[in-house]
Structure 1
Amino acid sequence: MKKNLITSLLFFVFLSQMVAGDISIFDGIKLPYFVYLKKDKYTQVAYFKYDDKSNYSVGYNGSGYSVLTTDLYERDDVLYVEFIKIWNGAEEISKTDRRKIYKYCVALPRQTIMKREEVFGIEPVFIAEDTRGGVPGVVTSLFVSNSIVSVRNAPSENGKELFGLIKGSIFELKDIVCSSKEIWIKLSIPGKGVGYIPFSCLAADWQILKSNLPSKD
């Protein structure tokens, strides 16, 4: 049973491109659009590719990471690309390495898109790391709950309960958001649906190192 659930979730991981809403910032711009998102001249964080409103993605030219596109929207002639990058222990450098979750929110002004310029200075707005012994060497967005918890329809304790998880439940991480000064995980389980649980319910022993997430309140 659990093996079948893992197989189903893995299927969704590799089909995780999103469908955009009304994105008009690319009007008059030759497609496809492709840009590298970099920390500095030598360090690539990810790349962003946009073919059309139903075909775009964030990816990474390297091994050991899962990259999840979480949101794409435009505001005041700026395109915002939000994504999560997960390192699960593959190709570890030392025994002290920890699994990590990073979230990024990248702003791409229309002028930058038109000139097809590379984007530098990309830093995560959220960083969390696990203790050793989680799921080393598995490149996936699958995670496990550490307790009995209610999955809610919104990132709030007042959100409607959709279904429950038992300790050890496997789910796909879809996003990380901040609401009411608390960090929440958006998750998905085939056959049950999509909802939110507190970040503190994530196994095994994750610690938040940085959180500049905008509040969803």
Structure 2
Amino acid sequence: MGGQYRITGDKYPRMRRPRGRRRLVFLVVASVTALGLIGWGTLQLIDVFTGGGDKASAAGPKTDCASKVSPSPSIAAKALPTPGQITVNVFNATPRSGLAKETADELKKRGFKIGDVGNATDAYDKKVAGAGILLGAKAAYGAALPVLNTQLPGAQLKTDGRDKATEVDLIIGTGFKALTKKEDADKALAVLAKPQPTPSTTNKSC
């Protein structure tokens, strides 16, 4: 093809498209990000091996350490009275005759002292629906009453205004069937007398 459209010279126009700039921008951003991550990781390693440097010492001890709860043994076991130190008055609030004496005799075999034995007063007679009521002074609530309760777990524990903490009443209710088996009661007594560790809270060192 000649004429005015003739191509002259030794250079010809290139027909391929120029490379996109997006790939170049992506490579630059990826390189900068990688360098930043490497630098941050290096600083973290330095903090681990140096303990935080001057920054940690200037900031002082951390106050947001997690609390740790661990059991610690009690200083002394709570002194509970033995069955031989407890006097039990046994009263029958049911229509069944002879139940108070029968129960009192069994408690005596198990080491308890026995006081009064007979029918319950009008305030309780035929008015106790459960297995029974254990009644004693306020000071007996954490001492003599729990010890006696090992012999009759279903009983209700109540306190009154009496002064003597080692003298308690067992009022037999209509739901009473029998005292706990002696071997089971002995196990319950052993558990009751065993000191339990109390939890203590300490802060972990940072």
TM-score tier by shorter-chain length is: under 0.3
| TM-score normalised over the length of structure 1 | 0.18
Give the structure with the larger helix fraction.
Answer: 2
Name the TM-score, length of structure 2 as normaliser.
0.18
Which protein, 1 or 2, shows the higher relative CO under an 8 Å CA cutoff with sep ≥ 6? 2
Query: Which structure dedicates a bigger proportion of its chain to strand?
Result: 1
